[in-house]
């Protein structure tokens, strides 16, 4: 989801926020923790954007990184704007990990400004853009909410679990590069976590195959599922939210209703983050079920719950997507959503 740009955050505003940001920046350069070999090591200060990415990094870094996810759970990433306190957290990081593909433009601007303040040293804060290092430009997908004429591709790669595995590999490699002393620790965590993700990927593949072929179609409010659909053999037939992230016009709504009737889909999918009366109207007039609980960057439950994870989010999404389309999620039974570490 697109995070709006920061415009005109002044040096004075940042300075004023220092006092209130102290609690957020608890991982100073002097913070240390024992490594798995019993050697004392300085923790890397890592800042992330959306919750699924934060959770992936947590599963690789565990207690050996001081991790800060800037976009809070349950907050609409489209309207979220980093505060001066958030800016300070980013400026104090050793490593900033974002999705990329122009999803978090504000984060990139903050990192570049901080580097400029440090003489242009790109190593002063390292920036890892996961999506940019996962697919090539030829693999970008442009679609309803992300049309090619606007320039930016659909950035929601992490809903394709094969791409999520690549994200984890990139995180592992970057942490090892920056903290080689704990290389075996990061590699071991990543190996265990990737094994879980592979089981999830295979389970989704099998579960989708139980949906009647003519019903393997997605019409959603927010256009998040392009890379998911390509991976798992589904078709995104439309998205209600226009490319300007506003509400559709009456003419657009009429076309969507007509399309649903023609496609004969049994359900359409709204979003927890984007409540919309338009979706209710579309469902009512087209005579289909509306499912309002799909999530692309909101983890289920509360922090500390075993399912409050990326895997938990995907399992919940599959229950809310596959069953209404006439399929079964039996293939996903037994997949453990919990993190590989609790630290």
Domain boundaries defined on the chain: 11-199, 209-332
**For position 177, what pLDDT does the model report?**
97
Asked if pLDDT for residue 25 goes beyond 60, the answer is: no
Least confident residue range of 114-118, 192-196, 314-318: 114-118
Same fold, 11-199 and 209-332: yes
240 pLDDT above the threshold of 70: yes
Q: What is the pLDDT of residue 26?
A: 38
CA dihedral for 49, 52, 54, 60, sign (positive or negative): negative
Mean pLDDT of 67-87: 79
Q: Mean pLDDT lowest for which of 7-11, 36-40, 49-53, 250-254? A: 7-11
Alpha helix ranges (H) inside 118-179? 161-178
In the chain, where do the E strands start and end?
Answer: 32-34, 40-42, 44-48, 65-69, 95-98, 126-129, 217-220, 235-239, 267-271, 289-294
Residue 339 has pLDDT above 80, yes or no: yes
Please give the structure tokens belonging to residue 93: 């990081």
Does 176 or 31 have the greater pLDDT score?
Answer: 176
The residues, any chain, with a CB within 8 Å of residue 248's CB and separated by 6 or more, are 240, 241, 242, 256, 278
Q: Give CA angle at 106 (156, 158), nearest 5°.
A: 15
Determine the 3-state secondary structure of 286 from DSSP.
Answer: helix
Buried b (16+ CB within 10 A) or exposed e, 283-301: beebebebbbebbbbbbbe
**CATH number of the domain at 209-332, please?**
3.40.50.1980
Which pLDDT score, from 0 to 100, does residue 270 have?
Answer: 83
pLDDT tier for residue 10 given thresholds of 50, 70 and 90:
very low
Residue found by looking up tokens 């002393």 in the block = 181
Written out in words, the top-level CATH class of the domain with range 11-199 is alpha beta
pTM for this model (two decimals): 0.85
Cα separation, 74 vs 80, whole angstroms: 11
Q: How far apart are CA 234 and CA 225, in angstroms?
A: 9
pLDDT digits (tens, 9 = 90+) for 90-111: 999 999 999 999 988 888 889 9
- pLDDT tens string 249-296: 888 889 889 889 888 899 999 876 655 678 888 888 988 999 988 889
- Find, among 105, 99, 104, the residue nearest to 54 by Cα: 99
- Hey, what are 76's tokens? 């609409």
DSSP track, 73-106:
TT--TTT----HHHHHHHHT-SEEEE--TTS-HH
41, HSE (Cβ side, Cα atoms, 13 Å):
20
Quick one: average pLDDT of 299-303?
A: 91
Torsion sign, CA atoms 17, 22, 25, 28:
positive
Cα(322)–Cα(267) distance, integer angstroms: 10
Q: What is the pLDDT, as a whole number, of residue 277?
A: 78
Q: What is the mean pLDDT of the chain?
A: 85
């Amino acid at each position: 989801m697109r995070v709006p740009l920061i415009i005109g955050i002044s040096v004075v505003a940042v300075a004023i926020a220092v006092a209130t940001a102290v609690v957020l920046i608890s991982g100073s350069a002097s913070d240390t923790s024992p490594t798995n070999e019993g050697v004392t090591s300085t923790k890397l200060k890592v800042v992330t954007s959306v919750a699924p990415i934060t959770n992936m990094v947590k599963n690789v870094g565990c207690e050996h990184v001081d991790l800060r996810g800037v976009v809070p759970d349950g907050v609409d990433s489209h309207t979220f704007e980093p505060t001066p306190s958030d800016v300070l957290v980013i400026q104090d990081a050793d490593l900033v990990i974002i999705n990329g593909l122009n999803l978090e433009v504000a984060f990139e601007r903050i990192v570049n400004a901080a580097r400029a303040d440090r003489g242009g040293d790109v190593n002063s804060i390292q920036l890892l853009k996961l999506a940019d290092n996962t697919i090539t430009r030829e693999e970008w997908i442009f679609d309803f909410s992300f049309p090619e004429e606007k320039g930016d591709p659909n950035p929601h790669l992490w809903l394709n679990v094969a791409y999520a595995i690549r994200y984890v590999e990139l995180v592992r490699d970057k942490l090892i590069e920056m903290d080689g002393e704990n290389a075996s620790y990061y590699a071991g965590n990543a190996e265990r976590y990737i094994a879980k993700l592979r089981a999830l990927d295979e389970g989704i593949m099998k579960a989708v195959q139980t949906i009647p072929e003519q019903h393997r179609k997605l019409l959603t409010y927010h256009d998040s599922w392009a890379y998911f659909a390509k991976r798992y053999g589904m078709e995104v037939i439309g998205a209600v939210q226009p490319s300007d992230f506003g509400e559709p016009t009456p003419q657009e709504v009429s076309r969507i209703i007509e399309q649903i009737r023609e496609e004969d889909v049994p359900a359409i999918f709204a979003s927890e983050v984007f409540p919309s009366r338009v979706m209710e109207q579309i469902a009512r007039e087209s005579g289909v079920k509306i499912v309002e609980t799909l999530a692309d960057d909101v983890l289920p439950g509360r922090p500390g719950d075993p399912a409050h994870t990326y895997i938990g989010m995907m399992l919940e999404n599959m229950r809310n997507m596959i069953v209404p389309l006439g399929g079964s999620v039996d293939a996903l039974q037994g997949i453990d959503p919990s993190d590989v570490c609790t630290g």
